[in-house]
Every structure is written in structure tokens, then in C-alpha cells.
Amino acid sequence: MKTKKVDEWIVVSLLLLALFVVFLLFPMVGLLKQSVFNSDGQFSLDNFKRFFTYTNGYYLKPLANSVKVTIVTTLVSLLLGVPIAYFYSFYRIRGAKLLFVVAILCSMSAPFIGAYSWILLLGRSGAITKFLSALLGVKMPAIYGFKGILLVQSLKFFPLVFIYMNGAFKNIDNTLMEAAANMGCTGVRRLVKIVLSLSMPTILAAALMVFMQAFADFGTPMLIGEGYQTFPVMIYNAYLGEGGADRNFAAALAVVAVVITAIVFAIQKWGTNRFKFSMNALHPVEKKEAKGIFGFLMHAYCYLLVGIAFMPQLYIIYLSFCNYKGSIRQGGYGFGNYVQASKKLLSRSIKNTAVMGIIALVVIVILAVLIAYLVVRRASALNNAIDTISMLPYIMPGAVVGLALLLAFGKKPLALTGTFAIMVISFVIRRLPYTIRSATATLMQISPSIEEAAISLGASKAKTFVRITVPMMANGILSGAILSWVAIVTELSSSIILYSNKSITLTMSTYLAILRGNDGIAAAFAAILTVVTAVSLLLYLKVSKSEDVRL
């Protein structure tokens, strides 16, 4: 009776699938294949055997290091972030808005700038170290290694917890708090049994986010880790090859990394499902005034924490205006560093970052909108498959993405190594899952009847999509896009494998300047990068008009 017409959208689905097969599945399969061949081109599991059995756990050590520092970082971030979110949501804090904005700035800054700045402050010849030893004769303990990574990452990631938890706390209905109090449950007991229990799914989500980002972080351990080698650093080193590059072994390491993040992801999914329930506060909690000593301590905690987290960025901007000769600081201030930087590919880096970033952003937005629409409005097995595939990069550390692309597109027919294209592809792959999530969430809040209204008024499907659906998603997409932009601008871990002198980005230039030990120029680059991220984020906050930062 009913003949179902072929939907125009099926074409879009197939096109998207083709894109994913070429640019995502093909490199990943390639990586997997590479890992199970030895350097003579024969199938073998030697690479994995080597990894697990090499003398004295030479390769297992960095893995253990990574897991250890990441778990501790995650715990510390939760311990720092949950209280500040709690104070922020339940009490009136003077200058709360400023605190929130600054916290976001800290979390979104380029990962290694914090590490670099802390070295300049607390390192062997750091400003604070010198000051203390000159004044008091106190010798500061070394900041390098485990402690340094923990310090830098915790201060960078606690704001993520803050942002996540603030969203969860805001959804707790005040009547639940009152009902608990009514039944005699108040104070700390209520905090644990009601507030934190209700927020459990979010706590898990925040923990996963911190774990994934900390585990994949390349820049921080590279700079401040010194002898304390972590997994992403090892992948990079294996790829560069201390004794000649061994790509097969590097590929095997990358596979191990993906397996680990996949397991963590699965555990988090399982945990979230166990605690799953939906909340929507009709009566948001009213913020209380904190009195007396408690109020003072609360303010001190919030300001001190955010202040310390923000200090490295301010310090690097300050340093960028100090006069340097080589890497030796001279007296006085000026723009000398910027003049020097402009001779070191500054303008090319900025131009490249802008061009590649914007192209990647446009591609990401188009793909994310299409995929969100297909998943939310035209659910089918094919579209769900596309959705699942598009989420794969979520569990792939940047170094793995970089390596996979390099292996896949290093030779014909698609020789893209060193081009803009491969950089753009890596940006898109890295950020797409996040933007799809935010586009999907936005679309789910839009009632389908609005699109039906347009169709019943005679608008075609295409016109409805362009004139009704997309504009209504615009705000959500735009805010998601700005966050993606920030992430792209500060991307290091995949770029370091894929960049060339021609396609160098601002972040890469900054990183290289730091490696060269030229502190003045490095500070200038880092300052520019910091200001670009800060301006983008302020724009984001203006556009999104809400505190619900969706990362």
C-alpha cells in the first residue's frame, strides 16, 4: 500500500559515511595494521611483546607513570573543583562572576604555557626559587617530575570540574533541599546524601573529562616532567626514534593508549548509567550569605585557588614586556621580545593559525550540524553508526591521531604530509566529537513541531532546514564553535607530529621557542597565544549568555 519515498537525507548520510571511512577509519585501521607488522613487513606481535616484556619494564614504566599521575591529578582536580563549585552555587561570593570567567580562562589556556610559566617561577632558576633562597636561604624542592605535572595539570583541570559541577548543582531543586531539611537531614549530612549523591553522574563525567585530557596531555610532561616520562611523550619519542624511527612500535604504543582510554570511557559509561536520572530545577537553589569566619575562609579559598591558577598566565604576559638579551633578563621594559618574535615566523604562524583554524571550524560546524540533525531527527541504523564512528576520536589522544594520519597519508595516493590539509583534518577529527555533542544537545531542545509548522506552511525540507532548524541551533552551534576554535588554536599534541615549517601554527611556534630556551621570544609568543584564547573565550561568554559551558 504505502510506498516509502527515498529520503534526500540518505545521500547526506552516505557522503558523511564516506568521509569518515577515508579520513578516520582508514587511518585507524592503518595504525592497527602497522602495529602488528615488524619492520620487515611480516605479521608479528613482537611490538606488543616488546612493550610488555622489555628489560626492567622499560616501556611499562612510562605507562605506570602516566596512569599514576593522571589518577592523582583527577582526584586532586575533584578535591579542588567540587568545593569551589559548591560555594559558587550555594553561597553569595563577592565577585563571583569574575572568579568564574578567570577559572574558565585558566582551563582553556594552551596546556604547556602553564608548565613553562611554573618552571620560570619555581624551576631551578625560577623567580620565586631565587627570591626565597636570596631572602631566607630556603632551598625550594625541585618542581620537576611527578610533582610538577601534578601541580600544573591540577590547576589547569580543576576549573573543568568547577564548570561541570556548577551545571549539576544548578539543576538541584530547592524543594529537595527543603524536603531533606524537613526530615532532619542538614549540614554536612545533607551535602553528602543529597547534593553530592544527586550530582554523581556529573562528578563521573567531570572525572572522565579530566582523566582523558590529563592522560593525553603531551606538552606539560614534555616540559616539566624531565626524567618522569609519560605515555604520550613515549609515543612521540618512539615515533621520532632515538635510534632510528620505529613506526611499527610507535603504532603499537598508540594502540595500547587507545585501549586504555577506551576502557576508562567504558567504565565511566557504565557508572553513569547506574546513577542515571534526570533533573530539572523549577525552583533553583537560592544563594545564601556566608557569615563570619566561614564566609572569610570560603572567600579566601576561592580567590586563592583561582589566583594561583591564573598566576602563570599573568606572569608570562608580564615577562613578554621585559627586556631580554638571549635568554638573560635585562632591566627595563619594552616591546623588544615582540620585535624579535616577528623575525621568527610570527606573522606566518598567526596567518596559518587563522586560516587553518577557520577552515577547520567551518568544516566542523557543517559536519556537526548535519550529523546532529541525522541522529536526532532521522534516527536509523546507518545514522547511529555514523554517530558512533564520529565519537571515536573522543578516546584517541592527540598524539595517536597525529600518528595515524601521518602513517595513512604519508604516501600516495593521498600524500598530504606537511600540508595545510593534514593539519586541518587533524583539527577536525580532534574537535568534531565535542561539537557534535553540543549540536545534538541543542537540537534535542528544539521541538520537532516547529519544523513541522514550517513544512505545513509549504516550505520544502531543505528550506525548513536552512531557514528554521539551523537558525534555531545557531546560538548553541556558535558557542560550541568558539570553544572548538580555542581548542584548535591551542592544539599541540597532534600538531607536533604533523606540522611543517610551512604549516606552522602559533602554538607550535610558541612551543619551539620554549624548547630553544629563548625565554623572551617564547614569552612574547605565549602572551599572544594567551590573549587570543582569552579574547575568544570572552566572546564565547558573551554569545552563550549562560554559565553552561559545554566542553
Give the binding site for another protein (CB under 8 A): 1-5, 447, 449-450, 452-461, 463, 468, 471-472, 474
Q: How far is the CB of 463 from another protein (least distance, A)?
A: 7
- Concatenate the DSSP letters of all residues of 19-55 into one string: HHIIIIIHHHHHHHHHHTB-TTS-B-SHHHHHHHHSG
200/472 with CB nearer another protein: 472
Cell numbers at 410, concatenated: 604519508
Parallel/antiparallel/unpaired status of strands 288-289 and 322-325: unpaired
Q: How far is the CB of 97 from another protein (least distance, A)?
A: 24
Which residue shows C-alpha cell 550555594?
90
Q: How far is the CB of 497 from another protein (least distance, A)?
A: 42
125/445 with CB nearer another protein: 445
Q: Return d(Cα 93, Cα 100) in angstroms, integer.
A: 11
Which residue(s) pair with 506 in the sheet? none
Helix axes 200-216, 60-90, angle to 10 degrees: 140
- Residue 493 is classified by DSSP as T
Q: How far is the CB of 464 from another protein (least distance, A)?
A: 8
Q: Return d(Cα 282, Cα 96) in angstroms, integer.
A: 23
330/447 with CB nearer another protein: 447
Q: How far is the CB of 540 from another protein (least distance, A)?
A: 20
415/466 with CB nearer another protein: 466
456/501 with CB nearer another protein: 456
Among residues 38, 74, 16, 378, which one has the least CA distance to residue 207? Answer: 74
Q: Return d(Cα 377, Cα 449) in angstroms, integer.
A: 11
Q: How far is the CB of 2 from another protein (least distance, A)?
A: 6
Which residue(s) pair with 288 in the sheet? 91
Q: How far is the CB of 548 from another protein (least distance, A)?
A: 18
7/178 with CB nearer another protein: 7
Which residue shows C-alpha cell 606538552?
219
124/463 with CB nearer another protein: 463
Q: Return d(Cα 411, Cα 500) in angstroms, integer.
A: 16
